[in-house]
């Protein structure tokens, strides 16, 4: 008897059921001939035809209540108990619960009964921060609808607009929902006006809810069923599945999150991805209900996980499709155009474009192998990270990683430590530059006329550079209009150019600026929050490259170059930057027995200097009187010794010193 045993949320055993759900649930895929007691629910996945399936995401600006709303849907579906003391259920990572933000999209399959019909709702809870926008972009292509959630106390924010535009491009049906209507500071009428003015929603289609109390949530569930179209899938067609997420398991290899576009997949099937090199036998499949729950078959339109002991990530790439091996053989024997058409008709996941680059090295050189393994596993789960090998005289073998932003870099580093116990050193973040080289011989040496430089130490010699280009972004700022003057001053100080401004309502204004990415990545958002008391929100998108006056700033200790501190900086800010780093070096270098000259230079020109005095022994301490010339003679001899020591002395810069300088 294949039966799903589930204790209802108000039962005393609900806590234990929730905690050990994955080990107590068994989904059945065939009809049941037995009667089901009242405290048990049976699920027959086969009965959920595509017409009774809804795939949707929850999208919103950060901290607008997405995870709370998702938890409330799980509670209404009877999958979890209502416990305000517990953390958000779908925020499963340690870093998410520590920081109170969502950084990884999570999936859950819910079942609701409406009009004597059961519906399978596949929910994807997505992050709200711009640094994790790829999680939204890879989730929307498999969804037919999305909940656009807006905080009733804060209104439409910059990331709300970005998510709306992405959903519009993907032809995703949107259901506008105003959340937190129970909060005292809520201004529902004003937020409703913003949704109408900015996005042209009808007032009648805007739902008002409190995800915290559950008020209005059932009406949103009805809207999901009635307004979001079912997936255009067919059980009778040959199997075609789609990979849209993956993670690594030490025993089972790569486990993939899949959407079944057509047909069905069952345990024992031999499958192959369209761009893969070999076939695999399906070992385990299931759905998230809300934990990993084994089943035997997944049908068209359904979303679940799949394990086939895949070890090579090229055979289960995100954005690729898989079919039965027999189907692949048939397509291969036919005209290649049919296979090409199938690939072209797949949902499109945009390729992430890293904006910030940093070197990552093991805290101990002996841990290089372990760090490489941890990086490969984590990059599999976070495919928006770009990785390539790198090396440093101070840190040894390492990797150069590309991230979508500083928070993304910070969270990635913390996940390495939390999930893989890998202690790392991450160098100062930088952006990529494009350099045009002159001279046929030089172009031949570098392989092409224009190269991309992600590491300042790999910059070609200055005398062969014809042009420097730096990345620019278009920033969107949504703010109360009383802060317009201070925001304009901040953007102009970062070499920004105002493109547009428009009023959202009587109190708030939408600003667009074009700015160099290098001026934004470090502390722009923090400064914006400070000068607007936290009321402004910021989002940005890339705007290509633009020629800039960029210089390479190098740092020397007693004339010896310290490569790890080399940076590419706009010439107008190079003096200020060099002075700040020289001061940090002076404050963090260990004391030396000789004087140390700390210099910042552009080429051969010194633009900043700090001097660290030598440690001195009191050579006159043994004198107890006599002529003053005795003391002068001892001091002169000490001075000569310090001069000789400076000529032959080697300054050992410890790893911890680099960490303090690079990470401040």
Average pLDDT of the residues in 270-289: 91
pLDDT for the residue numbered 307: 93
pLDDT for the residue numbered 130: 82
31/455: higher pLDDT: 455
Separation CA 392–CA 235 (nearest Å): 55
Lowest pLDDT segment from 53-67, 314-328, 445-459, 639-653: 639-653
The pLDDT-based confidence of 33 (bands split at 50, 70, 90) is very low
pLDDT for the residue numbered 87: 67
Separation CA 545–CA 434 (nearest Å): 8
> Looking at the domain that runs over 433-548, which CATH code has it been given?
3.30.70.240
Residues contributing to the annotated binding site: 60-67, 125-129, 179-182
Average pLDDT, the chain: 83
Tens digit of each residue's pLDDT (9 = 90 or more) over 466-496: 999 999 999 999 999 999 999 999 999 999 9
The pLDDT-based confidence of 643 (bands split at 50, 70, 90) is low
pLDDT for the residue numbered 558: 83
State the CB neighbour count (10 A cutoff) for residue 215.
14
Residue 18 has pLDDT above 50, yes or no: no
All CATH 3.30.70.2570 domain ranges of the chain, comma separated, are 551-662
> Looking at the domain that runs over 44-227, which CATH code has it been given?
3.40.50.300
591/254: higher pLDDT: 254
Average pLDDT of the residues in 248-277: 91
pLDDT for the residue numbered 243: 93
Residues contributing to the annotated binding site for GTP: 60-67, 125-129, 179-182
Tens digit of each residue's pLDDT (9 = 90 or more) over 373-431: 999 989 988 888 999 888 877 677 889 999 988 888 888 988 988 888 888 877 778 88
Domain 240-344 has CATH 2.40.30.10: yes
All CATH 3.30.70.870 domain ranges of the chain, comma separated, are 356-426
Examine residue 290 and say whether the peptide bond preceding it is cis (omega within 30 degrees of 0): yes
628/523: higher pLDDT: 523
pLDDT for the residue numbered 56: 95
How large a percentage of the chain has pLDDT more than 70? 86
3 state SS for 353-376:
CCCEEEEEEECCHHHHHHHHHHHH
The pLDDT-based confidence of 608 (bands split at 50, 70, 90) is very high
Residue 213 has pLDDT above 60, yes or no: yes
**Residue 259: what are its φ and ψ, rounded to 5°?**
-115, 130
| β pairing state of 297-299 and 508-516 | unpaired
Lowest pLDDT segment from 405-409, 489-493, 580-584, 645-649: 645-649
Separation CA 218–CA 208 (nearest Å): 11
The alpha helices in 513-626, defined as continuous H runs, are 524-531, 571-588
Separation CA 299–CA 321 (nearest Å): 15
Highest mean pLDDT among 58-72, 556-570, 607-621: 58-72
Q: In the block, which residue shows the tokens 């004087």?
A: 595
* Global pTM value: 0.78
Tell me the residue ranges of DSSP E strands in 364-520.
386-392, 396-403, 424-426, 433-437, 450-453, 465-480, 497-503, 508-516
| β pairing state of 424-426 and 465-480 | unpaired
Separation CA 304–CA 256 (nearest Å): 8
Helix/strand/coil for 519: helix
* CA–CA distances in Å: residue 399 to residues 385, 389, 391: 12, 4, 7
Residue 120 has pLDDT above 90, yes or no: yes
pLDDT for the residue numbered 427: 77
Residue 440 has pLDDT above 60, yes or no: yes
Domain 551-662 has CATH 3.30.70.2570: yes
Residue 138 has pLDDT above 50, yes or no: yes
Average pLDDT of the residues in 508-517: 93
Residue 23 has pLDDT above 90, yes or no: no
Residue 16 has pLDDT above 60, yes or no: no
The pLDDT-based confidence of 616 (bands split at 50, 70, 90) is low
Average pLDDT of the residues in 613-640: 68
The pLDDT-based confidence of 456 (bands split at 50, 70, 90) is confident
Provide DSSP, 202-259.
-GGG-EE-BTTTTBTHHHHHHHHHHHSPPP---TTSPPEEEEEEEEEETTTEEEEEEE
Q: Are 243 and 310 in contact (CB under 8 A)?
A: no
Average pLDDT of the residues in 35-57: 72
**Domain 356-426 sits in which CATH superfamily?**
Elongation Factor G (Translational Gtpase), domain 3 (3.30.70.870)
221/339: higher pLDDT: 221
Residue 43 has pLDDT above 80, yes or no: no
């Amino acid at each position: 008897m294949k039966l799903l045993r589930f204790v209802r949320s108000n039962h005393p055993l609900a806590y234990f059921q929730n905690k050990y759900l994955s080990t107590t649930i068994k989904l059945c895929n065939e009809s049941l001939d037995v009667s089901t007691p009242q405290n048990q629910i049976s699920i027959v996945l086969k009965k959920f035809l595509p017409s009774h399936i809804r795939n949707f995401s929850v999208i919103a600006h950060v901290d607008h209540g997405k995870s709370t709303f998702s938890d409330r849907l799980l509670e209404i579906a009877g999958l979890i108990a209502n416990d305000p003391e517990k953390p958000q259920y779908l925020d499963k990572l340690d870093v998410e619960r520590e920081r109170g933000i969502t950084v990884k999209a999570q999936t859950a399959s819910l079942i609701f009964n409406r009009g004597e019909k059961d519906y399978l709702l596949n929910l994807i809870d997505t992050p709200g921060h711009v640094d994790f926008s790829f999680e939204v972009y890879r989730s929307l292509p498999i969804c037919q609808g999305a909940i656009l959630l807006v905080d009733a106390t804060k209104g439409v924010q910059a990331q709300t607009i970005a998510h709306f535009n992405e959903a519009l491009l993907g032809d995703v049906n949107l259901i506008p929902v105003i959340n937190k209507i129970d909060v005292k500071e809520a201004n529902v009428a004003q937020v409703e006006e913003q949704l109408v003015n900015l996005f042209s929603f009808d007032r009648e289609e805007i739902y008002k809810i409190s995800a915290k109390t559950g008020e209005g949530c059932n009406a949103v569930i009805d809207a999901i069923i009635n307004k979001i179209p079912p997936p255009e899938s067919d059980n009778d067609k040959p199997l075609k599945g789609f990979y849209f997420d993956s993670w690594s398991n030490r025993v089972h290899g790569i486990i993939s999150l899949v959407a079944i576009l057509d047909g069905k997949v069952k345990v024992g099937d031999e499958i192959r991805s369209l761009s893969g090199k070999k076939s695999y036998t399906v070992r385990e499949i299931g759905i998230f209900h809300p934990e990993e729950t084994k089943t035997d078959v997944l049908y068209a339109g359904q979303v679940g996980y799949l394990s086939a002991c895949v070890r090579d990530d090229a055979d289960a790439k995100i954005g690729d499709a898989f079919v039965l091996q027999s189907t692949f053989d048939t397509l291969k024997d036919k005209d290649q155009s049919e296979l090409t058409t199938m690939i072209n008709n797949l949902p499109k996941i945009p390729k992430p474009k890293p904006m910030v680059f940093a070197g990552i090295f093991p805290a101990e050189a002996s841990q290089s192998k372990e760090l490489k393994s941890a990086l490969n596993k984590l990059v599999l789960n976070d495919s928006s990270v770009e990785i390539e090998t790198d090396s440093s005289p101070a840190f040894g073998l390492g990797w150069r990683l590309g991230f979508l932003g500083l928070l993304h870099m910070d969270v990635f580093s913390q996940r390495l430590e939390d999930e893989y116990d890998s202690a790392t050193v991450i160098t100062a973040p930088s952006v990529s530059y494009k350099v045009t080289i002159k001279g046929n011989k030089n172009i031949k040496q570098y392989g092409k006329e224009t190269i991309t430089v992600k590491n300042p130490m790999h910059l070609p010699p200055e005398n062969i550079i014809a042009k420097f280009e730096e990345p620019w972004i278009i920033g969107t700022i949504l703010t109360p209009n009383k802060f317009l003057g201070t925001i304009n001053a901040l953007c102009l100080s970062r070499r920004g150019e105002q493109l547009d401004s428009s009023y959202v309502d009587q109190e708030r204004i939408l600003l667009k600026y074009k700015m160099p990415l290098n001026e934004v990545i470090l502390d722009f958002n923090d400064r914006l929050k400070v000068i607007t008391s936290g009321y402004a929100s910021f989002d940005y998108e890339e705007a290509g490259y633009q020629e800039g006056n960029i210089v390479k700033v190098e740092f020397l200790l007693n004339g010896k170059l310290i490569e790890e501190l080399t940076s590419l900086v706009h010439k107008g800010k190079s003096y200020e930057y060099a002075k700040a780093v020289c001061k940090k070096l002076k404050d963090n270098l260990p004391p030396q027995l000789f004087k140390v000259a700390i210099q910042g230079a552009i080429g051969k020109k010194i633009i900043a200097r700090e001097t660290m005095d030598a440690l001195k022994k009191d050579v006159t301490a043994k004198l107890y009187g006599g002529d003053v010339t005795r003391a002068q003679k001892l001091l002169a001899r000490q001075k000569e010794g310090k001069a000789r020591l400076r000529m032959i002395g080697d300054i050992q810069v410890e790893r911890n010193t680099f960490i303090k300088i690079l990470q401040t």
